[in-house]
Structure 1
Amino acid sequence: MPVTPDELCARLAASGIAFHRTDHPAVFTVAETAPHRDLMIGLQTKNLFLKDKKGRLFLVSARSDARIDLKRLHERIGASGRLSFGSAELLLEKLGVTPGSVTAFAVVNDRAGEVTMVLDAQLVTGEEVNFHPLVNTATLRVRRDDLLAFLRGTGHEPLIVDLPVPADGQSG
């Protein structure tokens, strides 16, 4: 059974990880979070569940305005060939979340260690970061060091890569 949002929050607290929770209506895209951002300080994120040609799985967490080039990302993360999105069924099976709720915290459900956690270098600069707590009706803000400790505590040493933020403010 996947970890629930309440169980995740309890696990964070038990690990000494401080977080701030903001509840909001369901959001499915980065754009839909805009009306709620005034309530949330720290870096906003986007999260992609991807697979390569050999079936290896990747969870990519990046700044919400990072430009992620799926045609070239495989070169940066050591994937075999171009990446594609994992299906909703595979996402639920491996990470215990549904589309719109993809989050770095979902690796807590990857007990077999089948998913490679990829973090945008911009998320480890020191500013607090925001991720859904396994559902898209809330957002948790945590410190960078706490995020890294959480990921490592689940057995997911993150692969940190530079995902550029376009100067023109356009995301991709």
Structure 2
Amino acid sequence: MSFTPAALLAFLADHGIAAVTHHHPPLHTVAESQALRGDLPGAHTKNLFLRDSKKTYFLVTLEENTPVDLKALRSKIGARGGLSFGSTEALYEKLGVLPGSVTLLATINDPDHQVIVAVEARLLAADLVNCHPLTNEKTTALTPDALLRFLELTGHAPLRISLDADAPPVD
């Protein structure tokens, strides 16, 4: 059973994890987010749901403007073989969300720890990290410490990665 956005927010509150949630029109891309969010403070994320050739799944969360080279990313996250984007079906099966709503908070829907989580180090250095709470119609802001506490509660110890700023972007 997948958590709903309301159940996720209740989970955060029940565990004393401070979070502020903002409502907005559905956002499907980083560009849409940038155009509609106004002055929402904190770092904003880009989430990649990936799989390697051994069918290991990864959720890689980066600061929204970080360029990504999938070949260089492979070694940083321990992927074996090439990386490709996971299918919509696998995304829903593993994390209970659809494209446009991919988020670190979806790890709550991965109780069997089938997805390896990687977080860009500079996100963890921000004052706030903005994530979708399982829907692209809301944005939830958490401190990095609160986000790490949430990941700990879900049993996901994130890989902390750093990417070179001059890597070619993923389209």
- Uncovered stretches (5+) of structure 1, i.e. residues with no partner: none
Residue in 2 aligned with 1:122? Answer: 122
- Does the 8 A contact of 2:57 with 2:115 survive in 1? yes
Residue in 2 aligned with 1:164? Answer: 164
* TM-score of the superposed pair, with normalisation by structure 2: 0.95
SS in 2 for 1:44: strand
- Does the 8 A contact of 1:73 with 1:82 survive in 2? no
RMSD: 1.5
The Cα offsets for residues 24-80 of structure 1, whole Å up to 9 and x where unpaired, read as 111111000123332410001000100001000000010000111112211111110
1:56 paired with 2:86, answer no
The structural deviation recorded for 1:82 is 1.6
The Cα offsets for residues 78-125 of structure 1, whole Å up to 9 and x where unpaired, read as 110121000000000000000000000001000111100100011111
SS in 1 for 2:97: coil
- Uncovered stretches (5+) of structure 2, i.e. residues with no partner: none
SS in 2 for 1:102: coil
Residue in 2 aligned with 1:132? Answer: 132
Moved over 4 A (4+): none
1:84 paired with 2:84, answer yes
Identity, in percent, stands at: 46
1:142 paired with 2:142, answer yes
The structural deviation recorded for 1:127 is 1.6
Q: Distance in 1 between matches of 2:165 and 2:116?
A: 22
Residue in 1 aligned with 2:100? Answer: 100
Q: Distance in 2 between matches of 1:148 and 1:91?
A: 22
Q: Distance in 2 between matches of 1:65 and 1:34?
A: 10
Q: Distance in 2 between matches of 1:119 and 1:59?
A: 8
Aligned length: 170
Show the 5 A alignment for 1:26-65.
26-65=26-65
- Does the 8 A contact of 2:69 with 2:169 survive in 1? no
* TM-score of the superposed pair, with normalisation by structure 1: 0.94
The structural deviation recorded for 1:159 is 0.3
The letter for the 1-side match of 2:71 is K
The letter for the 1-side match of 2:61 is S
Q: Distance in 1 between matches of 2:146 and 2:169?
A: 27
The structural deviation recorded for 1:166 is 4.8
* Larger deviation, residues 43-52 vs 123-132: 123-132
* Larger deviation, residues 51-60 vs 124-133: 124-133
The structural deviation recorded for 1:126 is 4.0
* Larger deviation, residues 148-157 vs 35-44: 35-44
